[in-house]
Structure 1
Amino acid sequence: MVLISLVLGIAAITFVLRDEIKSFTDRWLQPNRSQPHDYILNPNWDFSAPPTKREYHWTIKDKDHNPDGVYRPMILINGQFPGPLIEVNEGDTVVVHIDNQAVNATSIHWHGLFQNGTNWMDGTVGITQCPIAPGTQFTYEFRVDGQSGTYWYHAHHAVQASDGLVGPFIIHSKDERNLQKIKYATDRIVMVQDHYYDLSGALLIEYLANDRENAEPVPAGALINGKSIRKCEDLPNRKCDNSSASLQEFNLEQNQNHRLRFINVGAFAEFQIQIDEHEFAVTEVDGTDVFPEYYHRLNINPAQRYSIVITTNITNGDAYWLRARMITHCFAEQNPELVEEVRGIVRYTSSSPISVSIPPSSRDWPEVIELECRDMKTTDLHPAHPIRAPATTSALINLRTNFEIGAWRLSRGFFNASSWRAPVSSPTLHRFVTGFSTSNESFTESLANPFSVNSNSFHTPRELVYQTTGLRTLDILLQNFDDGNHPMHLHGHKFWVLAQGHGYPPSNLFASLDLENPLRRDTASVEAFGWTLLRFVADNPGVWAFHCHVSWHAEAGLLMQFITRAEEVAKWKLPDQDKRLCSLEGHDRGRGPDDEIWFGH
């Protein structure tokens, strides 16, 4: 019966998708053209240019916008969704001037960037900064060093990223052509995301209310580079005008290699991605160039990035579907508005005119789609710049992840016995630095321990803070007692992914590890009722978040912190503009539910 239901379900989905797309055939088949928002990287980029300052001016405003035809309130950068591309070289200094003209406060986090020496520019509300109040300005300035590849930026205040504050951040290396083992003719960005029709603030209040049992808000659809098309007649209760909506097209020269940098900029859904009839090589993972391995489907969790290289040499036609399917098996509820697959078009170009009147007729891969939310198997992916994982570690951190229903029937996320609530007016970094500048013994005495949970300076039930001094190598063993998948992101560092599995880890886990050249990344998931082992060198001074990148889960408390090389952080003096943010009227606007709702008072 389960198999019959699955087959009938897939057939129904196929019918809906065919009907959803067929009626728009004439309109979305547009002539070959490139727009600035197509996110095509500069083919004449100078990888060897001397370090320079790259300056950006962003105005953040609220706007009703209809990416797929359905209007919804959004928060946009310079009126653009997704946000502007930042493209730099390793060694450049990035300056981003923020003018917040939106109704709520905000912040921008530079996902995956080390921020070595500029921890206060990490953009993490309640940890490294207070939010940027409405009607005020703030400037992010930092040097990009020691890393290259595909990154992105997003709001890190409540769940504002799902309202539109996302965009790509690409760092080029002088060695990029050598580290990428397959040469390619073009280089493009492909952002996939789940898409909601309601503002995140309202969804968050509903999600964190009592009797919800961690039933995450289910999206209505999905977008590729901010594009899709919905049938307005299917959504009579929504304001809709799809006359300007379109599918994302990728016009690729025939018989060439092309790099596509996939980024999941969504709040919740894992995607399974394919290009019909094409195998592809994975060549980069979260900013780490890897030796090519070939696949024809790619699973990508929120915040993860994968570069692929495809070869446009299939002879069955000149147009192929790029399919991005949300793995809806992991959704706790149903949404009658949901369309779970979004499509783009990969179109071959040549000296002959493009046939724009014929839709793709490409064939889907025959296997049943993935039903479980978890990382794709990455044990075959090895960095092109080999680094052996350290053989010895300073400590093993055992972290239990789960959701618990407590007082007032509220469901909250926990690392061990700690559930995080953002202190928007007193970030961890500010309190830590102030504690030393005022000789507060609860802070100064904490440096006596090279590794510990700092429960003297911080209230552990609300802030789980692991603190290290000197150079330490740490293992994190995550054991997930929840029925949901959790893509975990570590700020300020990359980690080695040493092992992942279902159930409990084997008793001989540490004796069987392959340390020669395991994958290094900054976001890895622990599947439902599974486990993941990560190892990282805590060498970057600062206060760094470690959290689930399902945005709803982080706001429900699934976040903890590391203070690394605390003896260095203790010497810091924070910039005046950072301290000023916490005293500005309105800096706490848009934080999500009030404490009375969050704590159930």
Structure 2
Amino acid sequence: MKAWSLRPTEAAVVATTIFFFLSTMALPAATALVEHTFVVSQMKMTHLCKETLVTVVNGQLPGPTIEVTEGDSVAVHVVNKSPHNITIHWHGVKQRMNCWNDGVPMVTQCPIQPNQNFTYRFNVAGQEGTLWWHAHCFDSEGVAEDGYVLDVDPGKTYLLRIINTGLFSEFFLKIAGHRFTVVGSDANYVSPYTSDLIVIAPGETVDALVVADAPPGNYYMVAMPNQAPLPDTQTPEPSTRGMVRYKNKDHIVEGGSTSNVPVAPVMPDQHDVVLSLYFHSNLTSLQHQRHPPPPVPTRVDEHMFVTLGLGTVCRRGQTCNKKTINETILVATMNNVSFQLPTTPLLEAHYHHTGVEDALLELPDKPPRVFNFTDISLIPIGPKERLLETTSRATLARWFQYGSVVEIVFQGTAILQGDSNPMHLHGHDMFVLAQGIGNFDATKDVARYNLVNPPLKNTVVVPNLGWVAIRFVTNNPVFIVEDGPTVDTSLPPQPVDFPSCSRNIMPDEYYFQTPEIKVPRIDGL
């Protein structure tokens, strides 16, 4: 039997980000309907003597926990009392044939408008471990009022469910005087890996065991953001701290410190970009008879090479002809294309045959040209920055045949930045075959692929100025006919209470005035 629960370990989180977990128990139980009501609103919270207006769920931050057993159905009634248009994304839940409830604004649904409500319904099947949920909402952030404290009994073992709910930075996590045994990530088992350091990227989850085997006392738990080294832009990224507190308060900690004086861990260099590569490279799938991972497909039907970086596009209503005026905005790019939100959710447009899907363009299989992607002189303010091509924008998609095996190499670049990049795949897990620093070299790096026991993940991190190779099977279709050959391949009708779009769907910064990209249109939609 599998159940989900939550314990947040990071003090600074996106305000409407909540989490939920699975864990394995001994005996099976009957399936049930797990029902919650989430009221999204705003309230004032005080942190470091500063009062801030934050978005919360049910008056709390972090918000409610959802606990489920595998096979259960979940219904969450979302009531939007905030001033923002929002959706809720169930990060890592596969939503098989249920993509109406995935919660991606303008892809699967219109946002839930202020003073409106919507009920998300989905089943939990074939997954156990730690997953989480969060809102897609513009500029919604906040910090918890109190630091996290974990009270422990000496000698006991504790399961920590760790989630990076940040939007930007990887985190180095350590507990002074203790070691972690990592046993799961992204709701998949991994072979036990022992380390005094966990490195976790935005969107990732890690399940780790910690034994309270240190001399009783107080020990800091420190999460420090990783930052790309110079010449990348350096911005203040302070650490956050929690505490592991032993219940035997009268014991004297070795070294002469009393139990109320916390011991701090020795943290790594904040600019060390190799530690993340080392940590993630040590994760492998658990080869267990009760929980065997799926075999790695050896046949590949589709190959893609996708570069990740930044670019600039014009703000709404601007021409960007005047170099002295800030008329541009930085955007993330894939193969030098920035995603343009459609005017109608893609899934809804496809289901109702509105014709919007005919305007979809295809994400290129490779970048427009090949060069030294990790040349640090491209990082601002580098000598080659002015030579960069203009970023295009388009509503892109990629059409795959059902059951295809897709391999993607994500290549990090130095284009206006040198940071790592988290990549999250909705509705699927992916085999993480290999990763490395520098430019991917197909002639030698393919030989490094782990085709025996690679970890299964829904979120992977592309290393700073490096690459990662992933492989997945397209077995959870989204754009499919609503009357497929079998029930398993037929798209169910959209929910009756599905949100409708307002005129101002997203803030102006989401709308750009750049030329349309010239790429092939998708056949078959």
Match of 1:593 among 495, 498, 508: 508
Query: For residue 547 of structure 1, what is the aligned residue in structure 2?
Result: none
Q: Counterpart amino acid of 2:424?
A: H
Q: Does 1:503 align with 2:438?
A: yes
Equivalent-residue separation in structure 1 for 2:444 and 2:237 (angstroms): 44
Does the C-alpha gap of structure 1 residues 357 and 133 become closer, same or farther in structure 2, counting only changes over 3 Å? farther
Equivalent-residue separation in structure 1 for 2:439 and 2:302 (angstroms): 20
Q: Deviations over 1:26-74 (max 9, x none)?
A: xxxxxxxxxxxx9999999786221100000111111222244422121
- When the two structures are superposed, what TM-score results if normalisation uses the length of structure 2? 0.75
Q: Does 1:326 align with 2:225?
A: yes
Match of 2:55 among 75, 82, 92: 75
Query: For residue 383 of structure 1, what is the aligned residue in structure 2?
Result: 285
Does the C-alpha gap of structure 1 residues 343 and 294 become closer, same or farther in structure 2, counting only changes over 3 Å? same
Q: Where do 1:238-317 residues align within 5 Å?
A: 246-315=146-215, 317=216
SS in 1 for 2:350: helix
Q: Deviations over 1:359-386 (max 9, x none)?
A: 3442523754553284553333222233
Q: Counterpart amino acid of 2:508?
A: P
Query: For residue 108 of structure 1, what is the aligned residue in structure 2?
Result: 88
**Aligned-pair CA distance for 1:249:** 1.0
**Aligned-pair CA distance for 1:341:** 1.5
Does the C-alpha gap of structure 1 residues 270 and 429 become closer, same or farther in structure 2, counting only changes over 3 Å? same
SS in 2 for 1:129: coil
Q: Where do 1:13-24 residues align within 5 Å?
A: none
Query: For residue 434 of structure 1, what is the aligned residue in structure 2?
Result: 352
**Aligned-pair CA distance for 1:256:** 1.3
**2:41·2:57 contact (CA, 8 Å) conserved in 1?**
yes
Query: For residue 477 of structure 2, what is the aligned residue in structure 1?
Result: 541
**Aligned-pair CA distance for 1:148:** 1.2
Query: For residue 136 of structure 1, what is the aligned residue in structure 2?
Result: 116
**Aligned-pair CA distance for 1:490:** 0.6
- The sequence identity of aligned pairs, in percent, is 25
Equivalent-residue separation in structure 1 for 2:190 and 2:23 (angstroms): 22
SS in 2 for 1:430: helix
Q: Does 1:479 align with 2:411?
A: yes
**Aligned-pair CA distance for 1:538:** 0.8
Q: How many equivalent pairs are there?
A: 446
Q: Where do 1:58-97 residues align within 5 Å?
A: 58-97=38-77
Q: Does 1:397 align with 2:288?
A: no
Q: Per residue, is there more helix in 1 or in 2?
A: 1
**Aligned-pair CA distance for 1:567:** 6.2
Equivalent-residue separation in structure 1 for 2:495 and 2:97 (angstroms): 16
Q: Does 1:491 align with 2:426?
A: yes
Query: For residue 415 of structure 1, what is the aligned residue in structure 2?
Result: 334
SS in 2 for 1:292: strand
Q: Deviations over 1:227-264 (max 9, x none)?
A: 5xxxxxxxxxxxxxxxxxx4221011111111111101
SS in 2 for 1:433: helix
Q: Counterpart amino acid of 1:386?
A: P
Gaps of 5+ in 1: 1-37, 165-194, 196-225, 228-245, 454-459, 544-562
Query: For residue 3 of structure 2, what is the aligned residue in structure 1?
Result: none
Equivalent-residue separation in structure 2 for 1:516 and 1:40 (angstroms): 30
Query: For residue 572 of structure 1, what is the aligned residue in structure 2?
Result: 491
**2:21·2:129 contact (CA, 8 Å) conserved in 1?**
no
Equivalent-residue separation in structure 1 for 2:103 and 2:469 (angstroms): 27
SS in 2 for 1:468: coil
Gaps of 5+ in 2: 1-17, 287-291, 315-319, 321-327, 366-391, 517-525
Q: Counterpart amino acid of 1:52?
A: A
**Aligned-pair CA distance for 1:410:** 4.0
The two structures, once aligned, show a CA RMSD in angstroms of: 3.8
SS in 2 for 1:524: strand
Q: Deviations over 1:55-109 (max 9, x none)?
A: 0011111122224442212111010101101111111101000111111211100
Equivalent-residue separation in structure 1 for 2:303 and 2:404 (angstroms): 11
SS in 2 for 1:83: coil
Q: Counterpart amino acid of 2:43?
A: K
Query: For residue 345 of structure 1, what is the aligned residue in structure 2?
Result: 243
Does the C-alpha gap of structure 1 residues 334 and 512 become closer, same or farther in structure 2, counting only changes over 3 Å? closer
Equivalent-residue separation in structure 2 for 1:402 and 1:367 (angstroms): 26
Equivalent-residue separation in structure 1 for 2:482 and 2:279 (angstroms): 33
**Aligned-pair CA distance for 1:597:** 6.1
**Aligned-pair CA distance for 1:485:** 1.4
Equivalent-residue separation in structure 2 for 1:416 and 1:367 (angstroms): 33
**2:429·2:458 contact (CA, 8 Å) conserved in 1?**
yes
Does the C-alpha gap of structure 1 residues 296 and 55 become closer, same or farther in structure 2, counting only changes over 3 Å? same
Equivalent-residue separation in structure 2 for 1:283 and 1:445 (angstroms): 41
